[in-house]
Amino acid sequence: MKIVRTTLTQASRAMAALPALILLLCTVLACTSGIKDKDPKVRKAAVEKLSDQALLARVVFEDQDELVREAAVVRLTDQVALAHIATEHKIPEVRFTAVGQLTDRTTLEQIVTNEKEALLLRQFANQRLEQVTGVHKYSFH
């Protein structure tokens, strides 16, 4: 009898959680299909609801619209993805936004010391490094 009660209790809990699970699944599916829409406004709105870090990083590199890419970078928290974007993306504005999201000291130091092409990006990474660590490390002349 105890097994039957336990099973019924577990089943009741699972059934109670089902509407929330269905809503979550529908939201995820809507966002995922929304990022493939032809309209950049729809894609941007879909991105603003996403939390999937790998999908957001993919949008940053693959979407053709500036506002959609920027919205995706702002939603990113994954420091590895942000580091990759900050150092590898071909569009400077996207790189700046990624640096603004970075909190990883090592990556910021690498950008400050290794960035060859964009002095402003190096300076911004230096400012972020100071914000993150509280230490002013580099001077640019």
Amino acid identity at 47: V
- Name which of 104, 115, 137 is nearest 95 in CA terms: 115
Task: State the average pLDDT for the chain.
Answer: 83
Question: Residue 45: what are its φ and ψ, rounded to 5°?
Answer: -60, -40
Give the pair of three-digit tokens for residue 50: 């996403």
Please report the pLDDT score of residue 17 as a whole number: 56
Average pLDDT over residues 59-88: 95
Q: Looking at 31-40, 41-50, 110-119, which range is the least confident one? A: 31-40
Whole-number Å distance between alpha carbons of 101 and 83: 9
Is 36 within 8 Å of 68 (Cβ atoms)?
Answer: no
Separation of first and last alpha carbons in the chain: 80
Domain extent listing, the chain: 1-76, 93-141
- pLDDT beyond 70 at 29: no
Note the pLDDT tens digit of each residue in 40-50. 999 999 999 99
Against a cut of 0.85, is the pTM above it?
Answer: no
Residues 6+ apart with CB under 8 A from 66: 91, 93
pLDDT band at 137, cuts 50/70/90? Answer: low
